[in-house]
Chains A and B, each alone.
Chain A
Amino acid sequence: MEKAAFYILSFVIIVSSLFMITRKNPVHSVLWMLLTFFSVAGIFIQLNAEFIAATQVIVYAGAILVLYLFVVMLLNPKTHGFAKIPYRYGMTILVVIVFVLQIFMAASMSKVLGIKGVITSEKMAEIGNVKLFGAELFNTYIVPFEIASILLLVAMIGAIVLALRK
C-alpha cells in the first residue's frame, strides 16, 4: 500500500512538473504546478510530516501559487516558448550529466550520515507530529523563527516599495 502510494505520487510529481516546464501557456504551467504541490504534500504525509503537508497545501498551493497566477493574469505576457540559449548542445549535455550524477549520488546513499535522533515513527505516532514540531520550533529554533518573521516583514516592505507606482 505504502509503496504503491509512493510510486503513484512520484509518477504524478515528475510528470506534472515536466508538463509544467514545457507548457507554452503560463496559466497551464501554474495549474500543473498546483498538481505537483498537492502530490508533494502527499509525499510529506508519507514521511510523517503532517503539519508540513498542511502548510504545503495552505502556503504553497494556496498563497504563493495564487500569487503567481495573479501576476500571470495581471501582466498577461505574450511570452511563450523557450529561451534562445547560447551553446545549446553543450548545455544540454551538461544538464544531462548533472541529472544522472544527482540520481546516481542519491541512489548510492546507502549509509545514512549523521546522528540518529530520538523521535522515531512510533514516538511520533504516540505524541503527535504537531506537538513535537511545535516544541522543537519554539524551543531550539526560537531565534531563527523570529529572524524568519523579520525576513518576511522585510520582504513585504520590499515588495510594496518595488511594486509601488511612482
Chain B
Amino acid sequence: MLLEHYLILSAVVFGIGMTGVLIQRNLILIFMSLELMLNAVNINLAAYSKYLSQISGQVFIIFIMSVAAAEAAVGLALIVSLYRNKQTINSDEFKILKW
C-alpha cells in the first residue's frame, strides 16, 4: 500500500467533514463533523508515522484525541447552555455575529 492511498482517504474524509460543518444547521452535528475532520487528520498522522518509520506521529494522535475530548466536553456544555437560553440549537437562529 502506498502512502498516497492513505493521504487520499484522509483528504476525502476531511472534505466530507468540512462539507458537513458548512451545510448542517444542527449545532451538534456541526461538532460531530469537526470530530470527523480531526479523525481525517489522525489517519494522515498515522500514515506518515508508518511511512517515515517514526512513532511520534502516533503520540500526536493521542494529543489530538485529548484535544478532541476537551473540545467535545466544552462544546457540548456550550450547546447545552445555549439551548437553555434560546430553546434552540439551530445555527440559522444565531445571526448576531454581524455589523
Contacts and interface: CB of A to CB of B under 8 A. Distances in A.
Direct contact of A and B (CB under 8 A): yes
Interface of A: 2-3, 6, 10, 13-14, 17-18, 20-21, 26, 29-30, 33, 36-37, 40, 43-44, 46-49, 51-52, 55-56, 59-60, 63-64, 67-68, 71-72, 74-75, 77, 79-85, 91, 95, 98-99, 102-103, 105-107, 109-110, 112, 114-121, 132-133, 136-137, 140-141, 144, 148-149, 151-152, 154-156, 158-163, 165
A contact face: mostly helix, strand, loop, or mixed: helix
Interface string B63-99: 1011111111110111111011000111110000000
Given A102-B14, A112-B3, A75 B89 contact: yes
Contact of B8 (A20, A56, A59, A103): A103
Contact of B61 (A52, A103, A107, A163): A52
Nearest to B61: A52
A137 B56 CA distance: 8
B76 A67 contact: yes
A155 B23 contact: no
A141 B64 CA distance: 14
B46 to A, nearest CB: 4
Contacts, number: 240
Contacts of B28: 26, 68, 71-72, 75, 77
B88 A77 contact: yes
Nearest to A63: B69
Given A103-B11, A105-B11, A116-B53, A21 B24 contact: yes
A84 B92 contact: yes
